[in-house]
Amino acid sequence: MRRAAHQLRLRRFRVCGAAARKENDQVNQDTRTARSARQGRPGRSVSQERTGGEKTSEPRSNRFTEQELEIARETDLPDLLTSLGYTVTRVGRYHSTKEMDSLRIKNRRTWYRYSERVGGDAITFLQHFCGRSFPQAVEDLLAFHGRARDAPAERNRQTEQAPEPPKPFALPPRHTDARRVYAYLKKRSIAPQVIRGFINAGLLYEDAEHHNCVFVGYGGDGKAAFASLRGTYDRDGSGFKGDAAGSDKSIGFRLPYDPDSRTVYVFEAPIDLMSYCTLHRGFHSNALALCCLDDRALSVFLREHPAVRKVVLCLDHDRPGMEAAERIGRKYSAEGYAVQTLSPPSRKDWNAYLTFVQQFREKGAVTK
């Protein structure tokens, strides 16, 4: 019934701009959709009711331009939800709805529902709550912006436009202090000495606008080329994660190069790297965080530093992390590198293990 209600809202949203469609037709369609949902059958689209076909209305092409995807992802969520029939409310810095009080909308572009521990952007909202496929959701959002793909004049204008150049990389403005970064990372059990060391090395700071942790990645030329952002507010769920616009994923996040070391330790996230440094206070080696499960950053690092001949994979101890470690390990073993897999002794990742150890130390069950 919850999915049926969301589908009804989507139907209203999709037809609100169609002047030729009568209100009575819409009411009948909504009634049929709700009845089908109660009986366990998928509802049929307006186009199906007209043609009698059984297939859902799919977009003419599933291949979208980067510009179209950006338009869909950057949809203003409060405006979208209002058009879907929700009652949008303001909760401090966030938006929510009366219908789903555990929903939080941040910066008008991203949502998170704490009761389900799921979130995303406008595309994933339509997928999760309205049962739309990815292509259908993008098509609906383009129509919401008045850029329906089946509008000939609009498509001709889009094809005539040159592709937008990639956004240049720029670090977020720096805050005057890093108090929220310190507080957040200490809550994640990172040692104050480690936090201070990263800040003093220019690897970490607090951004001025959103107070995110900014983990700065430097290329072989010593210039900043990547920034991983981590929200400092994550009560009751996962906080914001993302990269600064124009970030080069092939750089990732690195510790300063150590010419005396022939080894590189590879982590998924900067906080996992910091957790390992907290657990091993005398740690001195090359290390990087991929900030994903792609090995591009490792490949570039090894190409820039041919003296490094050993790779220690410290990825998460979950299925995606273990599969990535196996895949990456095979690749670099075949290239002649010594490869070692180093998983946390327990828990999913190095930060979860660090928190576990700290809790036991506080209780006196674990000694240094």
The structure tokens 């003093």 sit at 200
Q: 47-61, 146-160, 258-272: which has the minimum mean pLDDT? A: 47-61
Per-residue pLDDT tens digits for 180-192 = 999 999 999 999 9
Over range 55-61, report the average pLDDT.
39
Task: Look at residue 37 and tell me whether its pLDDT is greater than 80.
Answer: no
pLDDT at 179: 94
Q: Which amino acid is at 276?
A: Y
**Rounded Cα gap, residues 213 and 172, in angstroms:** 10
Task: Calculate what percentage of the chain has a pLDDT beyond 90.
Answer: 48
Per-residue pLDDT tens digits for 78-137 = 888 888 878 888 887 888 888 787 889 998 999 998 878 889 999 999 988 888 889 988
pLDDT at 329: 96
Global confidence as pTM: 0.58
pLDDT at 62: 53
pLDDT at 334: 97
Over range 344-363, report the average pLDDT.
90
**Rounded Cα gap, residues 365 and 368, in angstroms:** 10
Per-residue pLDDT tens digits for 146-202 = 776 654 444 444 444 555 677 789 999 999 999 999 999 999 999 999 999 999 999
Query: 236 by DSSP, 3-state: which?
Result: coil
Q: Who's near 39: CB < 8 A, 6+ residues apart?
A: none
Q: Who's near 62: CB < 8 A, 6+ residues apart?
A: 135
Pick the closest to residue 230 from 267, 184, 191, 274 (CA basis): 184
**pLDDT top residue among 148 and 272:** 272
Per-residue pLDDT tens digits for 292-337 = 888 999 999 999 999 999 999 999 999 899 999 999 999 999 999 9
Q: Please check whether residue 144 is in contact with residue 80, taking contact to mean a CB–CB distance below 8 angstroms.
A: yes
Q: Please check whether residue 180 is in contact with residue 192, taking contact to mean a CB–CB distance below 8 angstroms.
A: no
Burial of 317-333, coded b for 16+ CB within 10 Å and e otherwise, reads beeebeebbeebbeebe
**Tokens read off for 294:** 């792609």
DSSP-assigned letters across all residues of 127-172: HHHH---HHHHHHHHHHHTT--TT-HHHHHHHHHSPPPPPPPP-PP
Partners of 339 in beta bridges: 311
Burial of 42-66, coded b for 16+ CB within 10 Å and e otherwise, reads ebbbbeeeeeeeeeeeebeeeebee
**Rounded Cα gap, residues 80 and 66, in angstroms:** 21
Task: Calculate what percentage of the chain has a pLDDT beyond 70.
Answer: 76
Three-state secondary structure string covering 238-290: CCCEEECCCCCCCCCEECCCCCCCCEEEEECCHHHHHHHHHHCCCCCCEEEEC
